[in-house]
């Protein structure tokens, strides 16, 4: 008898095998009733086994809940590909394909009682009713006016006896009806209409239309910041809807892209019911409703973060991946998929067009345009003729000398002077610093001790408002010591500054300016980001100081100055993509300036003014940057010329993590296929996190398939000890 592996509903996510009774058409993705201990429970079939492992008898599936799998066959096909490519168990893949909110019965449809008018008594009866039973008369009149049905609750709490009476006459009937839990209920979106495109945009959209008609090759839209890529997305989406096709839009972190979501909602305000937005703030009930609205074809445009790549749309016309270079498209738990790469695969499976867009394309995608795998669409001008901002570099080594030993100020003289000027002219300023908190670390000048987290190998960050030291990896908190815990020197002091300290400095330097700080500490409240950005738009705020939360996608015409306080953060990390990331971040942040009538300026503070990522960003030269970086990658055999996989071990026992990885290394080495390069097993750059020691090794290979199969084979033959966790990250984006 065939068997089914079932993921049981409930908080524990148990997985058990059950026998499939004769004649039951059970398939993966179907939900089933099964016996669990001595009662019936529900679950989802993850996979089928042809032969039952017959050592002991399996209990049988009781009933098939869905005659057809909830997962479309095309998504199932993508699931099998993922399991193979990312070396992930099918069980985990199925969990990604079918969100928990959909699998678990208890979030099922929300309903409400509706009163339906079946027939209206004739005029004579109505007159009688109005005299004898005015309430009944009123109910019938209200129902008539409302077009024949109304929610029971709207008829008032006191009406129940009268409703019963009119129901008894057969005039009305009460029925349960599903209601949609609308995450945006109460929000109004003003409809806006398509812009007439400039000639560059026109050229791009024609190609996009062609692809929607007959999909051929993935498109990479490389458009400088402010070039109007979003308008292309909107008109492409419109074209699909007109052709009766559906649209999938992926954004990197949807909570951080309120403006982009807003623009889609405004453009499609007249068909609001057909737009579904999937983001992490949805309740399980809202998720359930949105998923079913997509599955049954009501929602035709889906906007969401990486997991929306599994949205069960059918008849896809186009998949749009905005900011395709963003790392947050990579899932950091198994299956460790890349949302953009799956989008390309899905478009292929569904025979739909695919459009990747960015002002700073990933070298992977850009390289694909050079080899002819993708086609390149370019927007080189800002949309309404604004010029690109002027970028000035301030060498903080030279600035520092002015202050003789006191260390350079957080705001260099040129930045401060420029801010004064802009504020005096009533313009707005954005300052960017990718580190939150007050001070990066606390160090003893006498013995050199840096206070570290006791669970992670990083310094604790000082947060002034909480008067605490906080770990940015695990959240561990500690009291701020007054003297060195090691040598008791009282001179222990703060090093490095974060956004909280900058805010304090700004208050002193610009006492009359209105400030807002945007980082994960200040933006905890739901809608905090949206509200702050709205206040900024209304010019109730003069200066924003923020982390990467403000780096992309924001459009504020009155911002004429962007300051990057420390461009070197992130440049000196052990990752071959460090330079690429710095280039992207600088270009994106700089792109927030001068997006209106007024010209924009950018001031970049750095200790390494000559590093290529800073110089090319300064000249808005993506092509130049890509050429030299690709040359470096080619010489060293790094992606995009190869695929890069990382294998990691994690354990609370340092030696066991290390030993397990050495063992795997030996086996990988033994019959290493041609063309693969195996790195040494080493401590991870972050050697300890959450109390776990971490070791890793890197493998490079020109064939992705071969690479992931070789690794999966070895890992399957080498199960780790119980206290060691294995991590296999195919196409790893971080180390
Ligand atoms: N054809 C057009 N005519 C006039 N204005 C336009 C046109 N296309 C776009 N715009 C406007 O130009 C501004 C910038 O466009 P948009 O935000 O779409 O650029 P983007 O390429 O997405 O930028 P970024 O990569 O920085 O997010 C917006 O205010 C948009 O409304
Ligand atoms: Zn000390
Ligand atoms: Zn920690």
DSSP letter (8 states) at residue 338 = B
Cβ of 230 below 6 Å from ligand 1: yes
Among 205, 141, 686, 237, residue whose Cα is nearest residue 452: 686
The pLDDT tens digits of the residues spanning 193-234 come to 899 999 999 999 999 999 999 999 999 999 999 999 999 999
Q: What is the pLDDT of residue 130?
A: 84
Per DSSP, the residues of 268-296 read TGGGGGGEEEE-TT--HHHHHHHHHHHHT
> In whole angstroms, what is the distance from residue 443 CA to residue 543 CA?
31
Q: What is the mean pLDDT of residues 302-312?
A: 95
**Residue located via tokens 């109004």:** 188
The per-residue pLDDT for range 230-286, each reduced to its tens digit, is 999 999 999 999 999 999 999 997 666 778 888 999 999 989 889 998 877 788 888
What are 535-583's pLDDT values in tens digits? Answer: 999 999 999 999 988 877 688 899 999 999 999 988 888 889 999 999 9
DSSP character for 131?
Answer: H
Separation of 195 CA from ligand 1 center, angstroms? Answer: 10
Summarize pLDDT for 96-113 with one digit per residue, the tens: 998 888 877 657 566 778
pLDDT for residue 403: 65
Q: Is the CB–ligand 1 distance for residue 232 below 6 Å? A: no
Question: 54 pLDDT band (50/70/90 cuts)?
Answer: low
pLDDT digits (tens, 9 = 90+) for 655-699: 999 999 999 999 999 989 988 999 999 999 899 999 999 999 999
Distance of alpha carbon 726 from alpha carbon 110, whole angstroms: 41
What pLDDT does residue 94 have?
85
How large a percentage of the chain has pLDDT more than 70?
95
Interatomic CA distance for residues 102 and 564, integer angstroms: 44
pLDDT score recorded for residue 51: 65
Nearest-atom number in ligand 1 for the CA of 229 is 21
Binding positions for Zn(2+): 444, 447, 453, 456, 471, 474, 484, 487
Q: Do residues 149 and 115 touch, judged by C-beta distance below 8 A?
A: yes
Mark 188-199 as b/e (b = at least 16 C-beta within 10 Å). ebeeeeeeebbe
At 547 the pLDDT is 92
Point out the least confidently predicted range of 185-194, 306-315, 359-368, 561-570: 185-194
- Atom of ligand 1 minimally distant from the CA of 223: 21
Per-residue confidence (pLDDT) for residue 55, from 0 to 100: 60
Q: Is the CB of 360 under 6 A from ligand 1?
A: no
- Beta strands 692-701; 219-223: pairing state: unpaired
Smallest-distance ligand from the CA of 259 = 1
CATH topology for the 643-730 domain: Alpha-Beta Plaits (3.30.70)
**Residue range 370-428, pLDDT digits in tens:** 999 999 999 999 997 888 999 999 999 888 777 655 555 799 999 999 999 999 999 99
Distance 270 CA to ligand 1 centre (A): 22
**What kind of fold does domain 199-379 have according to CATH?**
Rossmann fold (3.40.50)
pLDDT at 184: 66
**For position 110, what pLDDT does the model report?**
66
Band (pLDDT 50/70/90 cuts) for residue 165 is confident
Nearest residue CA, atom 25 of ligand 1? Answer: 225
From the CB of 215, is ligand 1 less than 6 Å away?
Answer: no
How far is Cα 386 from Cα 382, in angstroms, rounded to an integer? 6
Return d(Cα 592, Cα 401) in angstroms, integer.
Answer: 31
Q: Are 293 and 274 in contact (CB under 8 A)?
A: no
Could you check whether 199-379 and 390-438+497-632 share the same CATH topology? yes
Pocket test for ligand 1, best of 231, 263, 324 (most atoms within 8 A of CB): 231
Q: Which pLDDT score, from 0 to 100, does residue 683 have? A: 95
Of all protein residues, the one whose alpha carbon is nearest to atom 30 of ligand 1 is 228
Instruction: Evaluate if residue 309 carries a pLDDT over 60.
Output: yes
When pLDDT is cut at 50, 70 and 90, the band that residue 611 belongs to is very high
- Tell whether the model's pLDDT for residue 18 goes beyond 60: yes
Count of residues in the chain: 735
Residue 202's pLDDT is 97
What mean pLDDT is predicted for residues 465-493?
Answer: 91
Whether pLDDT at 60 is above 70: yes
Domain 3-103 has CATH 3.30.420.300: no
Percent of the chain at pLDDT exceeding 90: 61
pLDDT of 106: 59
Ligand nearest to the CA of 452: 3
Look-up of token digits 């959909």: 102
Distance between CA atoms of 86 and 336, rounded to whole angstroms?
6
Query: Mutation test of ligand 1: which of 190, 205, 230 has the most ligand atoms closer than 8 Å to its C-beta?
Result: 230
Q: Which ligand is nearest to the CA of 600?
A: 1
**450 Cα to the center of ligand 2, angstroms:** 9
pLDDT in tens, 616-628: 999 999 999 999 9
Q: Identify the residue whose C-alpha is closest to ligand 1 atom 9.
A: 228
Domain boundaries, the chain: 3-103, 111-178, 199-379, 390-438+497-632, 643-730
Paired sense of beta strands 316-321 and 353-358, if any: parallel
Provide the mean pLDDT of the chain: 90
Nearest to 496, CA basis, from 569, 445, 546: 569
3-state secondary structure of 461: strand
Write the residue with the smallest CA distance to atom 26 of ligand 1.
Answer: 225
Token pair 């592996």 in the structure block, residue: 5
Both tokens of 334, joined, read 């198994």
State CA 15 to chain mean position distance.
Answer: 28
- Distance, in Å, from the CA atom of 512 to the CA atom of 423, rounded to the nearest integer, reads 10
What CATH code is assigned to 390-438+497-632?
3.40.50.300
Q: Could you give the CA distance from residue 137 to residue 127 in angstroms, rounded to a whole number?
A: 8
Query: Is residue 646 classed as helix, strand or coil in its secondary structure?
Result: strand
Enumerate the known binding-site residues.
444, 447, 453, 456, 471, 474, 484, 487
ipTM: 0.96
Residue 727 has pLDDT above 80, yes or no: yes
CA of 325 to the centre of ligand 3 (A): 29
Residue 640, preceding bond cis, omega within 30 degrees?
Answer: yes
| 40 contact partners, CB below 8 Å, separation of at least 6 | 33, 34, 62
CB-CB contact of 307 with 99 (8 Å): yes
pLDDT for 142 equals: 85
CA of 226 to the centre of ligand 1 (A): 5
**For residues 417 and 428, what is the distance between their CA atoms, to the nearest angstrom?**
14
Q: Is residue 336 in contact with ligand 1, taking CB distance under 6 Å?
A: no
Q: Find out whether 250 and 329 touch, Cβ atoms under 8 Å.
A: yes
Residue burial 70-81, b: 16+ Cβ < 10 Å; e: rest: bbbebbbebbeb
Please give the pLDDT value at position 99. 84
From CA 591, how far away is CA 562, in angstroms rounded?
9
- The larger pLDDT score, comparing residue 484 to residue 155, is at 484
């Amino acid at each position: 008898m065939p068997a089914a592996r079932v993921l049981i509903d409930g908080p524990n996510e148990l997985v058990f095998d059950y026998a499939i009774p004769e004649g039951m058409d059970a398939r993966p993705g179907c939900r089933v009733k099964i016996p669990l201990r001595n009662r019936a429970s529900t679950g989802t079939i993850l996979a089928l086994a042809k032969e039952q492992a017959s050592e002991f008898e399996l209990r049988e599936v009781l009933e098939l809940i869905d005659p057809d799998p909830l997962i479309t066959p095309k998504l199932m096909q993508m699931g099998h590909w993922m399991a193979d490519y990312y070396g992930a168990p099918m069980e985990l893949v199925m969990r990604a394909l079918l969100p928990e909110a959909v699998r678990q019965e208890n979030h099922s449809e929300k309903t409400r009682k509706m009163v339906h008018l079946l027939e209206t008594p004739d005029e004579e009866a109505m007159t009688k009713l109005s005299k004898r039973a005015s309430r009944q008369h009123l109910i019938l009149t209200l129902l008539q006016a409302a077009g024949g049905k109304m929610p029971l609750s709207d008829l008032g709490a006191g009406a129940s006896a009268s409703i019963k009476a009119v129901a008894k006459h057969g005039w009305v009937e009460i029925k349960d009806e599903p209601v949609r839990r609308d995450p945006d209920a109460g929000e109004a979106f003003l409809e806006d209409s398509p812009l007439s495109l400039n000639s560059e945009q026109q050229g791009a959209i024609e190609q996009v239309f062609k692809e929607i008609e007959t999909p051929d090759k993935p498109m990479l839209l490389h458009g400088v910041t402010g070039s109007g890529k979003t308008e292309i997305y909107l008109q492409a989406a419109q074209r699909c809807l007109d052709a009766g096709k559906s649209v999938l839009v992926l954004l990197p972190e949807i909570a951080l892209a309120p403006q982009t979501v807003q623009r889609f909602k405004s453009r499609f305000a007249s068909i609001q019911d057909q737009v579904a937005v999937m983001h992490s703030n949805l309740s399980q009930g809202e998720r359930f409703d949105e998923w079913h609205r997509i599955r049954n074809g009501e929602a035709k445009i889906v906007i969401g973060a990486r997991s929306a790549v599994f949205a069960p749309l059918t008849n896809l016309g186009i998949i749009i991946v905005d900011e395709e270079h963003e790392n947050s498209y990579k899932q950091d738990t198994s299956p460790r998929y890349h949302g953009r790469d799956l989008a390309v695969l899905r478009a292929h499976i569904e025979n739909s067009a695919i459009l990747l867009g960015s002002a700073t394309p990933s070298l992977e995608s850009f390289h694909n345009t050079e080899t002819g795998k993708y086609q390149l669409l370019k927007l080189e001008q800002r949309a309404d003729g604004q010029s690109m901002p002027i970028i000035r570099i301030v060498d903080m080594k030279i600035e520092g000398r002015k202050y003789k030993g006191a260390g350079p100020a957080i705001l260099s003289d040129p930045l401060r002077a420029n801010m004064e000027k802009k504020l005096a002219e009533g313009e707005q300023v954005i300052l960017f610093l990718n580190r939150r908190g007050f001070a990066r670390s606390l160090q003893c000048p006498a013995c050199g001790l840096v206070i570290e987290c006791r669970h992670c190998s990083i310094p604790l960050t000082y947060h002034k408002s909480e008067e605490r030291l906080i770990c940015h990896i695990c959240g561990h908190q500690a009291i701020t010591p007054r003297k060195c815990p090691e040598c008791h020197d009282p001179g222990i002091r703060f090093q490095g500054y974060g956004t909280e300290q900058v805010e304090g400095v700004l208050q002193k330097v610009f006492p009359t300016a209105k400030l807002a700080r945007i980082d994960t500490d200040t933006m905890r409240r739901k809608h905090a980001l949206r509200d702050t950005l709205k206040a900024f738009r209304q010019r109730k705020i003069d200066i924003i100081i923020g982390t990467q939360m403000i780096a992309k996608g924001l459009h504020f015409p009155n911002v004429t100055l962007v300051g990057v306080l420390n461009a070197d953060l992130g440049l000196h990390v052990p990752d071959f993509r460090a330079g690429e990331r710095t280039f992207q971040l600088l270009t994106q942040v700089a792109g927030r300036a001068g997006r209106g009538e007024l010209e924009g300026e950018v001031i970049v503070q750095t200790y390494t003014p000559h590093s290529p990522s800073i110089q090319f960003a300064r000249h808005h030269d993506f092509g130049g940057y890509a050429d030299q970086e690709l040359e470096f990658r080619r010489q060293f055999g790094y992606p995009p010329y190869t695929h890069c996989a990382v294998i990691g071990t994690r354990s609370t026992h340092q030696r066991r993590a290390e030993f397990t990885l050495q063992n795997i290394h030996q086996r990988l080495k033994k019959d290493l296929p041609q063309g693969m390069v195996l790195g040494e097993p080493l401590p991870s750059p972050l050697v300890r996190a959450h109390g776990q020691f971490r070791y890793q090794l890197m493998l490079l290979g020109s064939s992705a398939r071969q690479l992931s199969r070789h690794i999966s084979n070895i890992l399957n033959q080498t199960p780790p000890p119980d206290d060691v966790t294995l991590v296999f990250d195919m196409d790893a984006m971080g180390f």
